[in-house]
């Protein structure tokens, strides 16, 4: 049984410096990490994964989901990704996998797509309601107001993490079940609930791979890959569940 709370309550102690540590992840070919590749910054995530010796796969259609153990949903444009998820018939199968416990990490636009409620979205924008947060799109400002901030993330230790914010969403509400792993100006920017991890910034745009390492370690633990049971775990992850999709708020 895949634990519902496999990413919750983690007690990771990694505190190595940026770029120095290699993730304690299964050898290449054991864990395949999906990277949603409909639009956005999939390539850079894949580069980081391959530098750590981890196999990744672009996910563009539902069949791709059968070959992955966990998924990264990159930054980009959530409205476009939303449309493409629907056009590629990926929305329902993806929601089912996440509900069945597949570890998923949404960065920036990916965070928006995983949120319970999206403000400032298009009327027809869909999202997965996989984590109990309310986000406001573009609330840190426009592209020209992009910035970098040093974040204290106790879960990964010192030094601070260099976080790049590009038209990022602001988390305006986080439910009780949500662990806030990092804040910026008093607002959550890195959150986790069960198998769902979200960051409002772009961790793939720096040379610091500690958050990728953290996600991979927890995904491996969650899937019990260390014991060579990926195939069993993966079978459980295919359990179909009723997906529910909430329409975004009508605020544009």
Binding site for ligand GLN (CB under 6 A): 75-78, 108-109, 112, 137-138, 166-167
- Partnered with residue 193 across adjacent β-strands are 196
Catalytic residue among 191, 204, 212, 222: 204
Shorter beta-carbon distance to ligand GLN: residue 99 or 167: 167
Shorter beta-carbon distance to ligand GLN: residue 45 or 137: 137
Catalytic residue among 70, 108, 191, 222: 108
* Residue 136 · residue 251 · CB < 8 Å: no
| Shortest separation between residue 77's beta carbon and ligand GLN, angstroms | 5
- Partnered with residue 35 across adjacent β-strands are 58, 72
| Shortest separation between residue 187's beta carbon and ligand GLN, angstroms | 16
d(CA 160, CA 163): 9
- Considering only CA atoms, give the Rg of the chain: 16
Q: Does the annotation mark 108 as catalytic? A: yes
Q: Does the annotation mark 202 as catalytic? A: yes
| Shortest separation between residue 108's beta carbon and ligand GLN, angstroms | 3
d(CA 75, CA 200): 9
The 3-class secondary structure across 58-92, one letter per residue, is EECCHHHHCCCCEEEECCCCHHHHHHHHHHCCCHH
| Shortest separation between residue 7's beta carbon and ligand GLN, angstroms | 21
d(CA 25, CA 185): 33
Shorter beta-carbon distance to ligand GLN: residue 77 or 179: 77
Shorter beta-carbon distance to ligand GLN: residue 2 or 42: 42
Catalytic sites, residue numbers = 108, 202, 204
């Amino acid at each position: 049984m895949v634990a519902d709370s496999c990413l919750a309550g983690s007690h990771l102690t990694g505190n190595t410096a940026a770029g120095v540590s290699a993730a304690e992840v299964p050898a290449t070919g054991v864990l395949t990490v999906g990277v949603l590749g409909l639009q956005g910054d999939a390539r850079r995530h894949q580069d980081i994964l391959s530098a750590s010796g981890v196999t990744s796969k672009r996910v563009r259609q539902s069949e791709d989901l059968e070959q992955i153990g966990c998924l990264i949903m990159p930054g980009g444009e959530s409205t476009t990704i939303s449309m493409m998820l629907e056009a590629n018939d990926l929305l329902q199968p993806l929601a089912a996998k996440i509900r069945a416990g597949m570890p998923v990490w949404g960065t920036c636009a990916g965070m928006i797509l995983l949120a319970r409620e999206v403000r400032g979205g298009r009327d027809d924008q869909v999202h997965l309601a996989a984590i109990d947060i309310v986000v406001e799109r573009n609330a840190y400002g426009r592209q020209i107001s992009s910035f970098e901030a040093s974040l204290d993330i106790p879960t990964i230790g010192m030094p601070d993490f260099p976080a790049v914010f590009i038209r990022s969403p602001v988390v305006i509400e986080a439910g009780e079940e949500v662990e806030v792993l990092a804040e910026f100006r008093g607002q959550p920017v890195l959150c986790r609930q069960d198998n769902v991890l979200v960051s409002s910034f772009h961790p793939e745009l720096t040379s610091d791979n500690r958050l990728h390492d953290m996600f991979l370690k927890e995904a491996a633990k969650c899937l019990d890959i260390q014991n060579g049971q990926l195939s069993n775990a993966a079978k459980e992850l295919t359990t179909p569940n009723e997906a529910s999709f909430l329409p975004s708020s009508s605020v544009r």
